A and B are shown apart, each in its own frame.
Chain A
Amino acid sequence: MDIVEEEFINPGTRMCAGCAMQLIYRFALKALGPNTILTVPASCLTVLHGMQGFCSTKVSVLHTPFATTGAAASGIVASLEEKGLADNICVVAFAGDGGTSDIGIQALSGAAERGTNFIYACYDNEAYMNTGVQRSSSTPLGAFTATTPGGKIRPKKNMPRILEAHGIPYVATANGSYPIDLYDKFKRARDIKGTRYFHILSACPPGWRFDPKDTIYIGRLATETGFWPLYEIINGKFVLSQPSKKFLDPAKRKDIEQYLSAQKRFSNISKQDIESYRNYIRDQWNEIKRRLENQ
C-alpha cells in the first residue's frame, strides 16, 4: 500500500467510538499532507479539533461560523494569493451535511461560482449530529431524527449534482467504508486547480442507531445496495469508481432493505418508502449508465 505513514490526527480525540467521519478525516489529511490550511464550521469536526489551547490535528485550522465555510476558505485563499503562497498551500474546507446543504450552501455556491482554488469536503452523516440528531436537507427519506419523529417525508438533497451545475473541475463522492478510494481521490483532487467538491457518506453510530463495530459494514451496504455510488466527475467526465463498477449490473446490488433494516433510524419506515428507495436507486443507475454511454 502506498498510503503515507504519517497520521495527522493525534489519538485521544473527543469523537464517538466508531465514528466514520474521523476515519474519513484521517485519510483525507494523509492525502492532503502538511502543506494544508483547513477551515471548519460548527460541526462534530469542531469537537474533533478539541477545546481551547490544545488541538488533535497536526494541520492548521480556522474555525468559522456555521454559514461561512465557503467564504472563510475564499478569504484564506485570497490572502495566500496576495502573499504569493497559493501554489504551495492547499486550502480545504471540511463541513457536515447541515453546514453544507443547508446553512452553508450560499457561501459554498458563491465560492464555487468564483472558481475559488480550494477543496470543499462535505462529510454527510445525514443529520445535525453534533446538536443531537435533528434533520437536515441531507437526511434521507423515512429516517427518524429528533425533529422527524415520524420519519422524514422528503428524500435527501443531491448536493454533488448541485455542485456539478457550477461547472467546477472536480466533483467526487466517497464513503468512509472505502478509505483507499477516498485517499486516492483526495490525492487526485489536490493537484487540480479550481473548486473541487467531495460528498462523503459518513456512517454515524449514535445518529443512525447501530453498534459502533458496524460502522464500516453499514457504510459499505450503502454502496453495495447502489444507494451511494462512488464516482468522480473530472472536467465534466463521469468516472465510476472501482468499488462501484460492478453495481452497474442490478443483479449485483444488494437489496436496499438490508441497508435500511440494519439501522434503527429506519425501524418505522413504510413499505411505500422502501419502494421509493428502490425506484430512486434504479433511476440513479439508469442515469449513470446513460452518462457513461454518452460521453
Chain B
Amino acid sequence: MTAAESTEKKKKVKILTGNHAAAYAFRHARVGVVSAYPITPQSPVVEKISEFIRDGKLKANFLLVESEHSAAAACCAASATGSRVGTATSAHGLMLMYEMLPWASGTRLPIVINLATRSCGAPWSVWDDHSDFITVRDVGWIQFMCEDNQEIYDTNFQAFKIAEDPRVFIPVIVAYDGYILSHTMMPIKLEKQEDIDDFLPPINHHINLSNISEVKGVGPVTTPNIIKRAEGTAPGYYEFRYSLQKALENSIDIIKEVHDEFAKKFGRSYGNGFFKTIKTEDADTIIFAMGSVSAQARTVIDKLRVEGIKIGLVSLRLFRPFPIKYLREFFKGKKNIIVFDRDIGYGYEGVLCYELKAALYGLKDAPFIKGYIVGLGGRDVKSEHIIQGVHKALEESEKGEISYKTEFYGLDLDKLDFLD
C-alpha cells in the first residue's frame, strides 16, 4: 500500500444528511461561537452541534438564543470580539436576521451562515424553494448554493477561508435545498482534522475587541462625508460601502484561489468554483439553474441529447458576487439559454433569469434566454417540466419570439374544481 493509498483509507466516509454535513463542517472548522435558533428544516444542524459540544468533540460556545434576530446579533458581536463564528437558519429565520445582515457585511465580519432553503410565508410552508436565498442578494454577503451534501461540507471550509481572508473580510451564506438536501442522506468523505486545520488556519480578526488594550468603537454613526482632524482622517459611509462593493467584486479571485487550493488538497472540485458545467463542450443550448433544480436537470440532459438537441447544463454555485466575467466568457457563442428558477423576483420574473440577462447585456450575438418558474413551496420539479420547457423555449427561439409573461411548470390549476 502506498502512502497516498493509506491516507485515502484513513479518510472517513459517513452517510449524512445535508444538515449533519453542515454540523460536521462547523466541527472540523473549529467554530468558536455558534449562536442559533431552531427552525424547520435547519433544526438538525443545531441539534447535532449541541451533541458535538456535549461530547467534547467541538470546543465551541453555543448560544441558544431566543430568536434569529438575536442569533445574528450575537454572531456579529462574537465575531467582532475575535471568534470564528457561524450559524444556520431557514426562510423566516433569515428574514428575521435581515437587519443584521448588512450590519455584518458593513462591519466586515467573517461570519458563515448555513441556509437550508425554504419558502417564505404566507401561507405557511416549511418546504423548499429559493425565495429566502434570493431575498438577501443585496446585503453584501457572498452566497453559495450547493447541489449535494459533500458540497455542503466542502463549501463551508472554503466559506470560512474566503470570509477570513484579509483581502475579503466578508460574511458568507452556504445554502442548500431544504429537505431535498437537508434531510437526505448521502455518503460524505470527512477529512482529517489536521488536514482541515492546515487548509483553514485560526482566524486573525481585523477588529478583535477581546484585545482591550486597543480601545475601539466599532460601527458608530458614520456621516456622509469623511472626517478630518489633527489626529487623522476617517472615511464616510460612502467610502465604507465603496470598499465593500470593491471587496466583493475582487473576492471572485480569492474564491477561485480558495476553491482551487481545496481541489488540489482534497481532490474535489466544483466546476471553476463559480459554476459547474455538464456536457457543455459541444452544446449550443444550455440549461441554467442552481441547487435542487440543477440536480433534476442533470437527469434529462442525456434524454434531450438523444432527440438531437446539443444541450448541456450550467449549475450556478456562486450567486454573489455574481460571476459575470466568467458567465460572459462561457456563454459567448451559445445559442439558447433556458433558465429554471425556484424563486420569483415578484413583479418581475425568476431572479436567476434576470440576473443572467443582465450579466450578458451587450454580448455580441447574445444567446436567446427564456426562463421558467418551477417548484415553489416544495412542489416537485419533474424531468418532464424541464423537457417541456426546453422544447417550448427552442420553438420560440426558432421563431424569434420573446415573451414577457412568466411561465410556470408543475401548477395543477386544471385539477382545482372551483376553477371550472
Contact = CB atoms under 8 A, between A and B. Distances in A.
Direct A–B contact present (CB less than 8 angstroms):
yes
Interface of A: 34-37, 39, 46-47, 49-55, 57-65, 67-68, 70-76, 78-83, 85, 89, 106-107, 109-110, 113-114
B218 A79 contact: no
Given A37-B81, A52-B236, A81-B61, A75 B74 contact: yes
Contact of B209 (A49, A76, A109): A76
B35 A74 contact: yes
A102 B400 CA distance: 58
Given A50-B217, A71-B77, A79 B61 contact: yes
Nearest to A110: B66
Chain B CB within 10 Å, residue with most, of A36, A51, A74, A79: A79
A158 B212 CA distance: 35
27 contacts: A50-B221, A51-B220, A51-B221, A51-B223, A52-B221, A53-B233, A54-B227, A55-B217, A60-B217, A60-B218, A64-B103, A64-B219, A68-B70, A68-B73, A70-B70, A71-B77, A74-B35, A74-B63, A75-B33, A75-B75, A75-B76, A78-B74, A82-B33, A83-B210, A110-B65, A110-B67, A110-B70
A67 B67 CA distance: 11
B233 A39 contact: no
Contacts, number: 176
Chain A to chain B: the 8 pairs with minimum beta-carbon distance, closest first: A53-B234, A75-B77, A110-B66, A68-B73, A79-B81, A71-B70, A75-B74, A55-B217
Nearest to A42: B221
B82 A72 contact: no
Contact of B220 (A50, A58, A74): A50
Contact of B69 (A49, A59, A71, A73): A71
Nearest to B229: A54
Interface in B35-75: 35, 59-61, 63-67, 69-71, 73-75
Interface string B189-233: 000000000000000000001101011111111110001010111
Given A62-B218, A83-B82, A107-B73, 20 more contacts: A50-B220, A52-B235, A53-B227, A54-B227, A54-B231, A59-B215, A60-B215, A63-B217, A64-B219, A65-B99, A67-B99, A71-B77, A76-B81, A78-B74, A78-B78, A79-B78, A106-B67, A106-B70, A107-B67, A107-B69
A75 to B, nearest CB: 3
A107 B232 CA distance: 37
A60 B216 contact: yes
Nearest to B80: A62
Contacts of A83: 32, 81-83, 210
A175 to B, nearest CB: 27
Contacts of B99: 65, 67
B100 interface: yes
Given A60-B215, A74-B35, A80-B210, A52 B223 contact: yes
Given A49-B217, A50-B220, A53-B229, A72 B209 contact: no
Interface residues of B, number: 51
B106 to A, nearest CB: 11
A75 B217 contact: no
Contacts of A74: 35, 63, 65, 70, 74, 77
A63 to B, nearest CB: 4
A157 B349 CA distance: 48
A106 B223 contact: no
Contacts of B81: 37, 62, 75-76, 79-80, 83
Interface string B83-100: 101000000000000011
A68 B33 contact: no
Given A53-B227, A75-B35, A82 B61 contact: yes
A52 B218 contact: no
B222 A51 contact: yes
A46 B223 CA distance: 13
B63 A62 contact: no
A37 B213 CA distance: 11
Nearest to A63: B219
A60 B212 contact: yes
Nearest to A37: B209
A64 B70 contact: no
A81 B232 CA distance: 35
A113 B64 CA distance: 11
A34 B33 contact: no
B276 to A, nearest CB: 36
A109 B66 contact: yes
A47 B217 CA distance: 12
A92 B99 CA distance: 23
Contacts of A55: 215, 217, 220
Contact of B61 (A78, A106, A109): A78
A132 B193 CA distance: 55
